[in-house]
């Protein structure tokens, strides 16, 4: 890796940044606590950007980048950080967007999850766990933390399919993890998932549910006794279920409702809010375990009523988003003016 990038990443980390954006002839910018901030460093010249990109990509990646004009990749700065990068052209010049990822998955408690949530997830040994949220809400980190948790607590064969690989999992005393990257180890999520099911897995992590075929295969894998962990770009638990159903044509939806009601075990939806001092981000979340009443509502096409179950079912493990956000406000970890109104509403 070029020595042009490492000092820049180290400087960004000092400020608590988690995203870094670099393009020719413009000072680099970083994102801290959901805010864009310009860095006090010189702009990269076009020649420096070219040198930087060449240093980050191997020969095969360079060919792919030349053919497509953009590429996802990841790399590690030893003992400092792991970086997920997207390299692309804008206005006929090179640009790089970097996501800064800790070298190893953090613990669930460190992220901000309660012990109740951790215990709920650990009890699930088959079916599907869905981790949802908007872009940049920490879904991949939560998924990696959960995989690390089950690998440390059980003896399992775990296969991850990611685009690209973010966290590198350590060696475990009993469990083994195989990490497959889209574009290098397997062409796409669907092919990787079909292959994974022939490799004797106990747990499969799908980096993102993107299409009908992948969703359907995940549900079938969950039905056959595997534990499937997947992420989805949706803003809350109820919307996540609706999105999974609506991705299918209308004539298939009754069957999919039944599959979801029997295979889906838990939906965890999350958001990262600016901290009160605007130096970092704070996790807020909601969790919807698949209670019998929730399964019935899915089968009966009454998904809109699930929000009421979440509000009334807190003794059964349901945790609404507004409950968590109000607790963060009470502890003065976030400020009221930084919270979107929908996260405070009772649904």
- Tell me: pLDDT of 326 over 60: yes
Give the whole-number percent of the chain exceeding pLDDT 70. 99
**pLDDT category of residue 184 using cuts at 50, 70 and 90:** confident
Mean pLDDT of 271-275: 96
Query: The pTM is what?
Result: 0.90
Domain spanning 108-343: which CATH class is it, in words?
alpha beta
Tell me what pLDDT residue 346 has: 77
| Preceding peptide of 164 cis, ω within 30° | yes
Mean pLDDT of 15-31: 94
CA angle 164, 165, 167 (to 5 degrees): 140
The rounded Cα 60 to chain-centroid distance in angstroms is: 27
- Tell me: pLDDT of 1 over 60: no
Tell me what pLDDT residue 2 has: 58
Burial of residue 309 (CB within 10 Å: 0-12, 13-18, 19+) is middle
Q: How far apart are CA 4 and CA 13, in angstroms?
A: 15
Selection from 266, 261, 263 nearest residue 221 by Cα: 263
Selection from 240, 274, 284 nearest residue 111 by Cα: 284
* Residue 93 phi, psi (nearest 5): -135, 160
Matching CATH topology for 6-101 and 108-343?
no
Tell me what pLDDT residue 280 has: 93
**pLDDT category of residue 4 using cuts at 50, 70 and 90:** confident
The structural architecture, per CATH, of the domain 6-101 is 2-Layer Sandwich (3.30)
- Tell me: pLDDT of 231 over 60: yes
- Tell me: pLDDT of 321 over 70: yes
Domain boundaries, the chain: 6-101, 108-343
């Amino acid at each position: 890796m070029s020595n042009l990038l490492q000092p820049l990443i180290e400087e960004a980390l000092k400020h608590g940044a988690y995203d870094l954006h670099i393009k020719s002839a413009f000072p680099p910018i970083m994102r801290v606590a959901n805010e864009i901030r310009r860095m006090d460093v010189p702009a990269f010249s076009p020649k420096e950007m070219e040198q930087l990109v060449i240093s980050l990509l191997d020969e095969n990646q360079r060919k792919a980048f030349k053919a497509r004009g953009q590429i996802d990749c990841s790399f590690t700065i030893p003992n400092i950080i792991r970086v997920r990068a997207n390299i692309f052209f804008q206005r006929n010049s090179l640009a790089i967007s970097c996501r800064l990822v800790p070298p190893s998955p953090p613990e669930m408690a460190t992220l901000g999850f309660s012990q109740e949530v951790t215990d709920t997830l650990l009890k699930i040994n088959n079916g599907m766990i869905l981790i949802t949220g908007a872009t940049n809400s920490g879904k991949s980190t939560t998924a990696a933390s959960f995989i690390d948790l089950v690998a440390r607590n059980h003896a399992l064969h775990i296969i991850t399919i990611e685009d690209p690989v973010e966290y590198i999992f350590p060696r475990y005393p009993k469990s083994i993890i195989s990490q497959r990257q889209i574009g290098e180890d397997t062409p796409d999520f669907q092919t990787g998932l079909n292959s994974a099911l022939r490799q004797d897995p106990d747990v499969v992590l799908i980096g993102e549910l993107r299409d009908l075929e992948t969703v359907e295969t995940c549900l079938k894998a969950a039905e056959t006794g595997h534990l499937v962990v997947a992420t989805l770009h949706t803003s809350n638990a109820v919307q996540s279920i609706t999105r999974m159903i609506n991705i299918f044509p209308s004539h298939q939806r009754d069957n999919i409702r039944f599959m979801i009601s029997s295979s889906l075990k838990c939906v965890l939806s999350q958001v990262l809010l600016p901290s009160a001092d605007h130096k970092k981000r704070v996790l807020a979340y909601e969790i919807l375990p698949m209670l019998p009443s929730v399964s019935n509502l899915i089968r009966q096409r009454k998904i809109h009523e699930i929000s009421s179950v979440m509000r009334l079912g807190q003794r059964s493990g349901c945790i609404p988003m507004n409950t968590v956000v109000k607790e963060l406000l009470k502890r003065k970890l976030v400020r009221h003016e930084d919270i979107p109104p929908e996260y405070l509403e009772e649904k």
